[in-house]
């Protein structure tokens, strides 16, 4: 899976999925596709919304969207927002994401990715 290291971490949360804000009139699926391109330079297809919550560390409303890579080489495309990008295996998440992943996201990834 693709994670980004934010240029300005939200407390202890530095590594996240590509994300930001949903624009007015935009679906969460379309926002996920747009943010992946803006932040990492990759083109993805939104597959499904995995769930939504208020993030316990940031207080932000977050929607999680499973996406499939279509094209592009991942890079820090928005240096103002992204310090680094990294493809990680599921087993590497614990060292990068304090508190682990949102349970519906973890469940989806358990079935979709190798450790």
Q: From its phi and psi, is residue 25 left (phi > 0), alpha (psi between -120 and 50) or beta?
A: left
Distances in whole angstroms, Cα of residue 66 to Cα of each of 7, 8, 22, 36, 79: 23, 24, 16, 11, 24
pTM: 0.91
Average pLDDT over residues 18-42: 95
**pLDDT 10s digits, 52-78:** 999 998 888 999 999 999 999 999 999
Q: Which of 77, 51, 67, 91 is nearest to 2 (CA)?
A: 67
Q: Can you give the residue range of the structural domain that contains 100?
A: 2-112
For residue 54, what is the domain's CATH number? 3.90.79.10
How many beta carbons lie within 10 A of that of residue 101, not counting itself?
A: 19
Looking at the structure of the chain, the number of domains it has is: 1
């Amino acid at each position: 899976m693709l994670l980004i290291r934010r240029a300005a971490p939200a407390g202890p949360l530095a590594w996240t999925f590509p994300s930001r804000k949903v624009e007015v009139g935009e679906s969460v699926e379309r926002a996920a596709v747009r943010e992946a391109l803006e932040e990492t330079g990759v083109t993805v297809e939104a597959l499904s919304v995995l769930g939504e919550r208020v993030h316990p560390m940031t207080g932000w409303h977050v929607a999680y969207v499973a996406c499939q890579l279509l094209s592009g080489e991942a890079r820090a495309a928005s240096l103002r927002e992204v310090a680094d990008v990294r493809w990680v295996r599921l087993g590497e998440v614990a060292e990068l994401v304090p508190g682990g992943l949102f349970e519906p996201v973890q469940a989806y990834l358990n079935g979709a990715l190798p450790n």
